[in-house]
Structure 1
Amino acid sequence: MNDHAKPSDEQLVAYLDEQLDTDQRSRIDAAIAEDSVLNLRLQWLARSSLPFQEAYDEVTQQAPVDRLHAMLDTLPSPARPAMSRRWFLAAAAGLVVSGVLADRLFLGWQSTQPKNNWRGLVADYMALYVPETLEHLPSDDATQRAQLRTIDARLGLSLLPGQLALPRLELKRAQILEYDGMPIAQITYLDPAHGPMALCITRSNSGSRHFAHERRHGMNVVYWADMEHAWMLIGHNPASELEQMAKVLRGRLSA
């Protein structure tokens, strides 16, 4: 793995499965320590509920196991000093069926998802947050303004710390996440009573929408939309409290 390359999902899965050597694990440990988004991605993969085992059980029955054994037997021993028979068969079978498997997994999973699942993606990340995630972050005005300018540039907004201020809550960080080319702004707060909370924004052309509620990962969500953006507040706060805060923010940001 290149020292400067961000680990791929395949490498992160191998890391979680303890299939990497000490040097490779050390490189990923260092990358995780330097990149909070990568750390969250690793935790998301660790929590994934996609039916990988069932999918592999089905498709690997179709793999030509006898032929793969014969291929392995033709390899000279020095050429495979650290390669177990089970590892080789799994890798070879994976190459044979990876295209079919990927299609089945993705299409099957995608068919169960709402057409616009950005709120679910945000909730997956927010479920990993604890107060310690945010406590150490700088929250001075200059830092906040610089972070908000990054959001403004990607989402066509004009945000100021004063517009985002909420009673009792401390504004901790504003950052841009991205999924499948779609930028998502995440503005996080720390509530001394209920822990991490976030205002999240992405572009939307589905038209204006009034406040609506849902629950994800044990958290309350209130969401709405204007003509250009979709918005959501998510946290462990009571739903009625979140809606009151959403009304304050919507009033300020649409003025």
Structure 2
Amino acid sequence: MNTPSDEQLVAYLDDELDRDHRQQLDNAIAEDPLLSLRVQWLQRSNLPYKKAYDELAQQAPLDRLQARLDAIPAPERPGLSRRWFISGAAAALVAGGVLADRLFLGWHAAQSNNWRALVGDYMALYVPQTLDHLATDDATQRAQLREVDARLGLNLSPAALKLPAAEFKRAQMLEYDGVPIAQIVYLDAKHGPLALCVTRSNSGSQPLAHERRHEMNVVYWTEREHAWMLIGRNPADELERRAMLLRSHALQA
């Protein structure tokens, strides 16, 4: 079968496919380690919506609001009553609900925008055997990079992406909440899977910085309209040298 889209895999995870289609995907996932990794990654993207709303509900000062309403004396002016105040409070609670929704959406965005964490989760699943079966001929890699270029507005080539002692194995597009992320995977002869990842950014150019995720080193930076990261089990200084090489040679096109 053709490579399934993220939407098809989400429908598979939500048990929304018919039996024949589900069986086809079961077989494909069993035979394709990368497809299996995509499914596992999409499973990790489930966010605790109920928990988030429960926490917001627990923070609402309902008891204090009710006590204040009970303490309000009946107004002397005609046309106004405690029911008027209660109606106003109800409107305020509705507005508070809108605010809670906005807070939740902000919380959701903060989670999904941390794309380096998502990539780290995904890369933690890789082992050298994951990359064994991939075609590495020039035509296949150029076709993969054309898809990356089209989605992210880049101009990459296999020659420009070469790294010492690491074989370029695959370029593919991932997606999280509608945000495209390109992943260019290498197999380092000594340290195992290594990935260069990129997504769009509006933060301008920023210098190299370091962090660690899942016992892997990360070097990340931004270049004009894109954010980049290089992640692997290589020592931090070695990873930085490779990041500098990619930034200076491959990513200036």
**TM-score normalised per structure 2:** 0.66
Contact 1:50 1:109 in 2 (8 A): no
Secondary structure of the 1:166 match is coil
1:139 lines up with 2:136 in the alignment:
yes
Q: Deviations over 1:201-253 (max 9, x none)?
A: 11222110000111112211100111121111011111111110001111102
* Matched residue, 2:160: 163
Matched residue count: 205
Whether the 8 Å contact between 1:224 and 1:231 is mirrored in structure 2 is: yes
Quote the Cα distance in structure 2 between the aligned partners of 1:112 and 1:228: 20
What is the one-letter code of the residue matched to 1:12? Answer: L
**Residues 225, 111 of structure 1: CA spacing in aligned structure 2 closer, same or farther, 3 A cutoff?**
closer
Closer, same or farther: CA 188–227 of 1 in aligned 2, 3 Å? same
Q: What amino acid is aligned across from residue 160 of structure 1 in structure 2?
A: S
Distance 1:235 1:182 in 2: 22
CA shift, 1:32, in A, is 2.6
Structure 1 position 150 matched with structure 2 position 147: yes
Structure 1, unpaired ranges of 5+: 59-102
Of residues 189, 199, 202, the one that matches 1:202 is 199
RMSD: 3.7
Separation in 1, partners of 2:231, 2:135: 22
Return closer, same or farther for 1:28/1:209 CA change in 2, 3 Å cut-off. Answer: same
Q: Which has the larger radius of gyration?
A: 2
Give me the whole-angstrom Cα distance separating, in 2, the residues matched to 1:39 and 1:224. 29
1:110 maps to which residue? 108
Structure 2: tracts of 5 or more residues without a match: 56-100
CA-CA distance at 1:151 after TM superposition: 1.3
Q: Which residue of structure 1 aligns with residue 125 of structure 2? A: 128
* TM-superposed deviation, 1:109: 5.5
Which amino acid in the other structure matches residue 221 of structure 1? V
Q: Write out aligned runs for 1:203-218 (5 A).
A: 203-218=200-215
Supply the AA of the counterpart residue of 1:153. Answer: A
Query: 1:179 offset after TM fit, Å?
Result: 2.2
Residue 13 of structure 2 aligns to which amino acid in structure 1?
L
Superposition pairs of residues 69-84 of structure 1, within 5 angstroms: none
Match of residue 252 from structure 2 = 254
Task: Give how far 1:184 is off.
Answer: 1.5
| Greater CA drift, 183-192 or 144-153 | 144-153
Q: Secondary structure at the match of 1:161?
A: coil
Relative to structure 1, is the Cα distance of residues 34 and 254 closer, same or farther in structure 2, using a 3 angstrom cutoff?
same
CA contact (8 A) 1:169 1:189 kept: yes
Structure 1 residues 192, 138: closer, same or farther in 2, change over 3 A?
same
Secondary structure of the structure 2 residue equivalent to 1:184: strand
Equivalent residue letter for 2:179: M
Contact 1:7 1:28 in 2 (8 A): no
Listed as ranges, the matches of 1:8-27 within 5 Å are: 9=10, 11-12=12-13, 26-27=23-24
- Between the aligned residues of both structures, percent identity stands at 66
- Aligned mates of 1:11, 1:152 — CA distance in 2: 28
| Aligned partner of residue 203 in structure 2, secondary structure | coil
Is it true that 1:190 corresponds to 2:169 in the alignment? no
TM-score of the superposed pair, with normalisation by structure 1: 0.66
C-alpha contact (below 8 Å) 2:9/2:39 kept by paired residues: no
Once residues 152 and 132 of structure 2 are traced to their aligned partners in structure 1, the CA distance between those partners, rounded to angstroms, is: 27
Letter of the aligned partner of 2:212 in structure 1?
R
* Deviations 1:125-174 (CA, angstroms, capped at 9, x unpaired): 11111111111111122221221122122222211211111110000001
Q: Distance in 2 between matches of 1:174 and 1:31?
A: 20
